[in-house]
Amino acid sequence: MKKSIAVLPGDGIGPEVIESAINILKVIADKCHHTYIFNYGLIGACAINKTGSPLPEETVDLCKTSDAILFGAIGDPKYDNDPSAKIRPEQGILKLRKELDLYANLRPIKIMPELADISPLKKEKIKDVDIMVIRELTGGIYFGKHERVQDGNSAIDISQYSKFEIIRIANMAFELALHRNKKVFSVDKANVLETSRLWRETVNDIATKFPEVSVTHMFIDNAAMQLIKRPSEFDVLLTENMFGDILTDEASMIAGSIGLLPSASIGDKYALYEPIHGSYNKAAGLYVANPIGTILSAAMMLRMSFKMKKEAEIIEKAIHQTLKKGFRTRDICGINTKKNHLTNSKEFTAYVIQGILDSNPS
């Protein structure tokens, strides 16, 4: 099978974790007799530096003509430290989500048994954690009106949602719940926000179409607490844009590191896959960043966009085998990690590749 992949490495550690994923995909392609064509595009700070835009039109066109998109990371401290900057790297990924209508962000939160010791929570609390966060990705405060009042002493950010936007993301959450534990936890702030009241009303309307699925409404502050107190009780966690951004970073620490988790941003026509971590510019070029989240994102791409379940499982199994052998990057070292098992991202990827080569594709 032949597939074209738009590759957007982005900034900071993005290029090196993407390099790991690409090397893995090349091995899988050879082993399972596929052809993956990788076409690279600019986005973020590197795109601003070269073109003046965080998302050049060439990159949008590349994404629209590819079978899937693999994205690294975005951001640069020089923009973070300059509140007056009009053009920012993050505008690139926000615009791409809007251009491609990638309205649903799927972030699975699972515990790797081999890494249970690096979670800040007790093992008995996390052993059965298996959460699918579904975050609405193209609405809310990130895409509302942003304005600095003329005198500079006040600012406005508007959060806006339409019923249509809530309906399509809620439908996806309930559909997914049908194939899991049939529980949806919907997060809002309906005691304060009008958008949250519309959110809750609409989710309740959708719930009537899925009588076999239970729905629980939670205020965002309570949801943040319960994720730590009883994470194993969650199933599908449905949330609007900003709440989802915050909760998934919190949930990543249940697994032990933000570098472990993959994600998929999907719409009706296009799909983008990326690790949930940021650009971590201090480590750029050092090859110390954990590539697991990016490699698992590539596996999600194979499973969801290309319907290559076997290939995705080979990658996932090779990661688990590498971890069982004790090999770790710096961010996922536990107290029992041996010094000779501490690896950089290139070495870790090489061990995963060896596991793929040793596997039986049948």
Beta bridge partners of 266: 104, 271
Beta bridge partners of 271: 266
Q: Cα separations (Å) of 104 from 40, 142, 244, 267, 333?
A: 24, 14, 11, 6, 32
Q: Which pLDDT belongs to residue 335?
A: 67
Range of weakest confidence among 42-56, 76-90, 272-286: 76-90
Question: Does the pLDDT of residue 362 top 70, yes or no?
Answer: no
Element (H, E) at 9: strand 2-10
- Distance between CA atoms of 234 and 236, rounded to whole angstroms? 6
The three-state DSSP-derived secondary structure of the chain is CEEEEEEEEECCCHHHHHHHHHHHHHHHHHHHCCEEEEEECCCCHHHHHHHCCCCCHHHHHHHHCCCEEEEEECCCHHHHCCCCCCCCCHHHHHHHHHHHCCCEEEEEEECCHHHHHHCCCCHHHHCCCEEEEEEECCCHHHHCCEEECCCCCCEEECCCCCHHHHHHHHHHHHHHHHCCCCEEEEEECCCCCHHHHHHHHHHHHHHCCCCCCEEEEEEHHHHHHHHHHCHHHCCEEEECHHHHHHHHHHHHHHHCCHHHCEEEEECCCCEEEEECCCCCHHHCCCCCCCCHHHHHHHHHHHHHCCCCHHHHHHHHHHHHHHHHCCCECHHHCCCCCCHHHECCHHHHHHHHHHHHHHCCCC
Catalytic amino acids? Answer: 142, 189, 221, 245, 249
Question: Residue 82 — very low, low, confident or very high, per pLDDT cuts 50/70/90?
Answer: confident
* Per-residue pLDDT tens digits for 117-149: 889 999 889 989 999 999 999 999 999 998 888
Question: Does the pLDDT of residue 361 top 70, yes or no?
Answer: no
To the nearest whole number, what is the mean pLDDT of the chain? 94
Question: Residue 1 — very low, low, confident or very high, per pLDDT cuts 50/70/90?
Answer: very high
* Per-residue pLDDT tens digits for 311-344: 999 999 999 999 999 999 988 887 667 777 889 9
Domains of the chain with CATH codes: 1-109+259-362 (3.40.718.10), 120-131+139-255 (3.40.718.10)
Q: What is the mean pLDDT of residues 92-112?
A: 95
Question: Does the pLDDT of residue 112 top 60, yes or no?
Answer: yes
Q: What is the mean pLDDT of residues 212-234?
A: 97
Q: Which pLDDT belongs to residue 237?
A: 98
Question: Does the pLDDT of residue 153 top 90, yes or no?
Answer: no
Q: Which pLDDT belongs to residue 79?
A: 85
* Per-residue pLDDT tens digits for 284-314: 999 999 999 999 999 999 999 999 999 999 9
Q: What is the mean pLDDT of residues 154-181?
A: 96
